[in-house]
Amino acid sequence: MAKSPKTGGSGSSSDNMEQAVTLPDDEHPDYLAGRVSEDEDALEADEASPEAFDFDDTDEFTPAPGGPGLPPGIPRPGRLPRPIPLPRPFPIPRFCGPVSGKYRYRPPVFLPRAPTPGPVSPALPGPVLPRPVPGPIIPINLLQITVRVDVDRFFPQNRISIEVRRLFPRSTAHAIAEVTSDRCVGLNNRYIDANIVYRDGNASLIPGTRVRFHAGRTSGFGYGKYSLRLSGGGISPRTYNLGFESRYFDPVEFEVDRVQNAGAIVTAYNTADHPNRPSNLPNETLSLATVYQRAGFDVRMSPNQTTIPTSGAGSNGTWSDTEMHNAMVTYWSRFANRPNWAMWVLYAARHDAGRSLGGVMFDDIGPNHRQGTAIFTDSFINDVPPGDPDPAGWRRRMQFWTAIHEMGHGFNLAHAWQKALGTPQAPGDPWIPLANEPEARSYMNYPFRVSGGESSFFSDFRFRFSDNELVFMRHAPRRFVQMGNSNWFNEHGFEAPEALDQTGQWTLEVRPNRNSNSYRFLEPVNMELKLTNTSHQAVEMDADMLADGRHVTVFIQREGGQTKQWRPMITQCHEPHANKIDVGESLYGAHVISTSTDGWLIDEAGFYKVQAAIDMGDQIVVSNVMRLYVGPPESQAEAEVAPDYFTEDVARVVNFGGAPELDKAEDVLRQVTETCAGNPAVKHAEVALTNPMLKDFKLLETGGSREDLAIKTKAAKIGTAAKAQTKALLDNPDEAADTMGHIPYFEQLRNVAEALEGDGNDKAAVDVMKKTIQVMKDRQILASVIDNAERRLDRRT
């Protein structure tokens, strides 16, 4: 039987604590050490479910989900004869050890056929040929399946969750099933049936409605084989062989750092330390690690524990969220702006907010939330209620409880009374709607908020999370839970609607500004942002806020996939200038959102959701959620060019309107123009390829060393470029304006006209301007924009 580490794995412990031990698992009343069935139970199970002994699901013949089934004519293995039941004079207890934990799909491994030994020939002199090296040819595992079984060990939730990741074409799915029966039919021979109740992502990857997990013996007494079967819903049952990976559901690392003036910190607590506790609560020491191990995580305490000098705090000695975030970046050895199963726990004296703030998960700043939490030792959690029988024990318990509570926020857990907040209409997938648990005896409830107050809470608190919280931590789609992944309060069934609501002063709209939200494969997606003053008074603000790329954040989620943040490839710093925006007046901006600083965000067929937010300084204004569709390749050529096209370099060329130094990317765009006729991506490519020719273009050339660096100028070819661009932009102006977006489209036409004018070709420039104005009128764009264009034209004619 597995035992917990004696100190729960925590490297730190209370300065005031005597060394105590964590109760061995199998001695703990909250630990379920497997399942025992009496003979009759098993018999009943056998009779109730004839599938109990279906051994004819062989993995080798299992079709991949969504893939083809067995071709006709291939003989299937016959049904094995069932054992003849023997008379059972005595009821034999059947014991099945615990099976909770994480499992992974083990795809079948096909070994190469061994060469047939031939006749031995006499050794002849001659060259020695390399001998073939025998060994398995491991197929690339295109299907990754992770199964989390949760039926025993600590606080079992009777769930089986399944996570499927298909690598090509890339897709993910997640399902959670509720256990309906759990039968031990022999020594370590256990069948667990469950019904799927929750889905996320591509449902076709986890077909069926029912799940059966089987753990059985091979040789010896222990478990040796595991499988998962999907059935129901009219599908042919599919069985997957699994391998046991861990008794825990996910790994996580905690690093505890302490500010110099935080005093004695409590990272472990003896449950008998304070007299107000459940009478049957085991007397043991819990550490930060133990608590989260029992919640299902394989906790590692980082050995990198730092004492942060007080000089690092603000001038007043208290800490703001921003200062803590900066400290986290500086002192946390594992800090990275990316999803990570790791959390930084800081013990500090006091927050700027004062003594009333006992702790905070401060990390809702920046792109990766929930990585850092803080506990404030010089706060109300040190204020013992008058008359408490054990003030020191009270303080230790409160500090320990606060630490676990704040870390729970890091796992995206809300307060017990806030679970029903919000609605499942956030960008991203909602979690199962939850009911509030205002009386829950959970780490995530406030002890002083329940009926009867803190005394009542701790008299019945068993140092655990609620069942709903455990289900979330163990089985929710991992991006909801993993630190640095989904944002705090998002995708937890309570997308803080208040946080996203408009203030009423501004409305932000994200729109394609064309008739259809459908895009062709390869076509860059251009989004227009429209910010409207919906207050009751004119406001002065920077008219470039939407365009400069510094104030706008866009989130893009491929349905069933992760939400990704768009970061503009181009940001502009400009002199601030305030423009008067009248009531009802709007500002506009446009961005190619397919491409971000690290490549393409929209690079495959499917549905996507897009939502934007703009930082107005004193408020964040959030847009509508727009759904768009990207079609599959419509030709072999489109499919073939895709791997070369969806690269960072091509993204840069498209975004920057050309980049001659990225010649390979330009070659790819030329390939698009030559082989993908009719695809709107051709227009983007043509503009990007010819745009640098509208002016003398500077290139930095290198001769192999820094000394050889030289700026060379590539002479403009304005006539050639203008001809190509007017063809791309004006031959079918509606198509070009639709795919490029009004703002970039008309800006580009203006660039062409100005280049022609600068080249002395006024006649051609005026011609482009006239055609531009006609397109503006045909597309009924803002009268003020047309007026401006006509004034520019008048000055030239």
Partner 1 sequence: MTASDVDNHGPAQAIEFHFTEGFREQSAQILCDGEKLASFTLTSAFQTGLAHIEILQLDEGKEVAIEIGDQPLRATAVVDAAHPFVVVALEGDRLDLAVLASRPGYV
Residues at the contact surface with partner 1, assessed by CB under 8 A: 353-361, 364, 379-381, 383, 385, 402, 405-406, 409, 415, 418, 421, 446, 448, 488-489, 496, 498-499, 501, 503, 619
Distances (CA, A) of 756 to 287, 726, 789, 791: 74, 11, 16, 18
Nearer of residues 106 and 355 to partner 1, judged by Cβ: 355
Torsion angles phi and psi, residue 756, rounded to 5: -65, -40
Nearest to partner 1 of 373, 748 (CB atom):
373
The minimum distance between CB 484 and partner 1, in angstroms, equals: 17
Neighbours of 522 (CB within 10 A): 27
Instruction: Look at residue 343 and give its three-state secondary structure.
Output: strand
The answer to whether 605 and 501 have CB atoms below 8 angstroms apart is no
Task: State the minimum distance, in angstroms, from the CB of residue 357 to partner 1.
Answer: 5
Amino acid letter at 603? D
Radius of gyration of the CA atoms of the chain, in A: 32
Strand partners, 518: 629
Helix or strand or coil: residue 675? helix
In three-state form (DSSP H/G/I as H, E/B as E, the rest C), the secondary structure along 228-245 is EEEECCCCCCEEEEEEEE
Cα distance between residue 745 and residue 752, in whole Å: 11
CA–CA gap between residue 769 and residue 148 (Å, rounded): 64
3-state secondary structure of 607: strand
Q: Which is nearer to partner 1, 351 or 695 (CB)?
A: 351
Q: Least distance (Å) from partner 1 to the CB of residue 266?
A: 14
Least distance to partner 1, CB of residue 653, Å:
42
CB-nearer residue toward partner 1: 535 or 597: 535
Question: Residue 354 Cβ, how far from partner 1 at the closest point, in Å?
Answer: 6
Q: What is the spatial distance between Cα 169 and Cα 583, in angstroms, rounded to a whole number? A: 48
User: Closest approach of Cβ 437 to partner 1, in Å?
Assistant: 15
What's the burial of 477, exposed, middle or buried (CB within 10 Å: 0-12/13-18/19+)? Answer: buried
Q: Residue 146: how many CB atoms within 10 A of its CB?
A: 19
Alpha helices in 595-717 (DSSP H): 636-645, 648-656, 663-675, 681-690
The SS3 of residue 374 is strand
Torsion of CA 495, 208, 155, 468, to 10 degrees: 20
Buried residues in 436-472 as b, exposed as e (16+ CB within 10 A): ebebbbbbbbebeebeeebebbbeebebbbbbbbbbb
Token output for 642? 């895709």
Contact (CB, 8 A) for 469 and 414:
no
CB of 363 to partner 1, least distance (A): 10
Residue where the block lists tokens 């509606």: 734
Residue 314 is given by DSSP the state: -
* CA–CA gap between residue 438 and residue 92 (Å, rounded): 45
Query: Are 203 and 173 in contact, with CB atoms under 8 Å apart?
Result: yes
Rounded Cα gap, residues 60 and 596, in angstroms: 42
Q: To the nearest whole angstrom, how small is the minimum distance from the Cβ of residue 596 to partner 1?
A: 28
**Which H or E element spans position 789?**
helix 783-794
Specify the residue, 53 or 417, whose C-beta has the smaller distance to partner 1: 417
Of 405 and 551, which CB lies nearer to partner 1 in the complex structure? 405
Closer to partner 1 by CB, 248 or 461: give it: 461
- Minimum CB–partner distance for residue 457 and partner 1 (Å): 13
Q: How near is the Cβ of 488 to partner 1 at its closest, in Å? A: 7
Distance of closest approach, residue 361 Cβ to partner 1, in angstroms: 6
* Cα–Cα distance for residue pair 341/300, rounded to 1 Å: 10
Strand runs (DSSP E) across 380-505, as ranges? none
Token readout for 592 is 């190619």
What's the CA angle centered on 793, arms 790 and 797, to 5 degrees?
135
Question: Measured from the CB of residue 355, what is the shortest distance to partner 1 in angstroms?
Answer: 7
Closer CB to partner 1, 172 or 379, in the complex: 379
User: Would you call 118 helix, strand, or coil by DSSP?
Assistant: coil
Between residues 381 and 450, which has the closer beta carbon with respect to partner 1?
381
CA atoms lying within 13 Å on the CB side of residue 795: 6
Question: Which of 498, 575 has the CB closer to partner 1?
Answer: 498
Query: How far apart are the C-alpha atoms of 260 and 107, rounded to whole Å?
Result: 52
Q: Closest distance between partner 1 and the C-beta of residue 344, in Å?
A: 16
Q: How far is the CB of 414 from partner 1 (least distance, A)?
A: 8
Side chain identity at residue 13, one-letter code: S
Which token pair is 582? 């009248």
Cβ-based nearer residue to partner 1, 508 or 775: 508
The reply to whether omega before 169 is within 30° of 0 (cis) is yes
Of the pair 238, 492, the CB lying nearest partner 1 is at 492
Integer Cα distance of 615 and 553 in angstroms: 8
Please give the structure tokens belonging to residue 537.
Answer: 């008074």
In the complex, minimum distance from the CB of residue 621 to partner 1, in angstroms, rounded to a whole number: 12
> How many C-beta atoms surround the C-beta of residue 3 within 10 A?
11
| Residue among 21 and 420 whose Cβ is closer to partner 1 | 420
Q: Which is nearer to partner 1, 590 or 621 (CB)?
A: 621
CB of residue 636 to partner 1, shortest distance in Å:
51
Choose between 496 and 785: whose C-beta lies nearer to partner 1. Answer: 496
Residue closer to partner 1 (CB basis): 381 or 687: 381
For the bound state, the minimum distance from the C-beta of residue 489 to partner 1, rounded and expressed in Å, comes to 5
Least separation in angstroms between CB 504 and partner 1 = 8
